[in-house]
């Protein structure tokens, strides 16, 4: 299969947040077109500052450069990778046996003290004593990307002819995850494993901060692999499986992968930080009535976001 390198469609979120009514709806149209052609879109005008992004990457690099014995203190048994550290090879793509060539960290939602949400669904975040700035930058970035995601979901709601604020309460105190990832140097001939095998994301949408090196490839609607490039001030946003189920495939989850670098770059690391936007566990993923037609009959059984998440965490090896 041929590999193509091209820029993905770009949109300016400022036009949606601060633009005229016409500019706002033009943003919605451009976003919908991008999702129905390639499935990924580059977004400028988001709420994550360059300074904060840089601080988080520096903190992540310092953490992942710690000795294994130090990092493994933060891989907490029974947490199923939902907070703290997950070591190399523990996660694999759905349907794959080989573990991905990556280690990662998870920041999650901090519940307010007066919340009535089920605390068992929100494990406490883990604090890295050796790199205190990692936690501070991670949680600040978490909230800025969460706010950005709310605006993106409002635009998606309008594209689907829903009320603009359809998703707001569903994602407020949702189970979103911020995942700094380290794809380490390749030290031996990989048999089957790649940095991240082809997969689709579990959640509603993913907001991806700019990575430190090439490697991300997207499968477009013509079944061509596209090497994704985005400008430094942009984040990349794609559709996940939960939104695909909800829209009965009107918006399809985007298949993507992170390939191994050329052999001459095997000694290098790659860092990437996606924000996986999840709703609360009780959100229904039953197909929207307007997305079910005689030409596109209902494709999925009804379930909640929590039920679907549990199923997928088992399929990718984080739960047994």
pLDDT digits 0-9 by tens, 217-263: 888 777 888 887 767 788 999 999 999 999 999 998 888 887 766 66
- Could you tell me which residues are beta bridge partners of residue 236? 42, 208
Q: Tell me which residue of 188, 137, 178, 154 sits closest to 273, measured CA to CA.
A: 178
Question: Does a structural domain hold residue 297?
Answer: yes
What phi and psi values does residue 172 have, to the nearest 5 degrees? -65, 125
Is there a domain that residue 320 lies in? no
Residues 6 or more apart in contact with residue 83 via CB below 8 angstroms? 76, 106, 107, 108, 123, 124, 125, 126
What is the reported pLDDT for 74?
94
- Total domain count, the chain: 1
User: Is residue 234 in a domain?
Assistant: yes
pLDDT band at 264; cut points 50, 70, 90? low
Q: For residue 117, give its domain range.
A: 3-315
Whichever domain contains 73, its CATH number is 2.60.120.330
pTM: 0.89
Residue 54 within a domain:
yes
pLDDT digits (tens, 9 = 90+) for 149-165: 999 999 999 999 999 99
Helix or strand or coil: residue 33? helix
**Which contacts qualify for 300-305: CB closer than 8 Å, 24 or more apart?**
300/245, 300/248, 303/245, 305/175, 305/242, 305/278, 305/279, 305/280, 305/281
Between 29-43, 209-223, 237-251, the lowest mean confidence (pLDDT) is in 209-223
């Amino acid at each position: 299969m041929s590999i193509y390198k091209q820029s993905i469609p770009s949109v300016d979120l400022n036009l949606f947040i601060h633009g005229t009514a016409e500019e706002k709806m033009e943003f919605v149209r451009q976003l919908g077109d991008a999702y129905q052609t390639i499935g990924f879109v580059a977004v400028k005008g988001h709420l994550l500052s360059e300074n904060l992004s840089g601080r988080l990457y520096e903190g992540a690099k310092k953490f992942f450069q710690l000795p294994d014995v130090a990092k493994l203190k933060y891989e907490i048994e029974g947490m199923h990778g939902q907070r703290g550290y997950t070591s190399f090879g523990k996660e694999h793509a759905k349907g794959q046996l080989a573990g991905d060539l990556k280690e990662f960290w998870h920041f999650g939602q901090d519940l307010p003290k007066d919340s009535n949400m089920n605390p068992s669904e929100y494990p406490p975040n883990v604090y890295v004593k050796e790199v205190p700035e990692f936690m501070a930058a991670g949680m600040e970035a978490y909230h800025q990307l969460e706010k950005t995601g709310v605006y993106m979901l409002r635009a998606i709601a309008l594209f689907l002819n829903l009320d603009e604020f359809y998703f707001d309460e569903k994602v407020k105190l949702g189970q979103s995850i911020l995942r700094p990832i380290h794809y380490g140097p390749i030290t031996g001939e990989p048999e089957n494993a790649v940095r991240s095998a082809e997969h689709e994301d579990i959640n509603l949408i993913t907001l991806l901060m700019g990575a430190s090196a090439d490697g991300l490839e997207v499968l477009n609607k013509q079944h061509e692999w596209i090497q994704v490039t985005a400008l430094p001030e942009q984040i990349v946003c794609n559709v996940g499986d939960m939104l695909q189920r909800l829209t009965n495939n009107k918006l399809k989850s985007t298949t993507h992968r992170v390939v191994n670098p050329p052999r001459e770059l095997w000694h290098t690391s790659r860092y990437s930080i996606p924000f996986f936007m999840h709703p609360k566990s009780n959100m229904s993923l039953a197909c929207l009535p307007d997305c079910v037609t005689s030409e596109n009959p209902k494709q999925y059984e009804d379930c909640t976001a929590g039920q679907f998440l549990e199923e997928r965490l088992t399929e990718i090896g984080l739960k047994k």
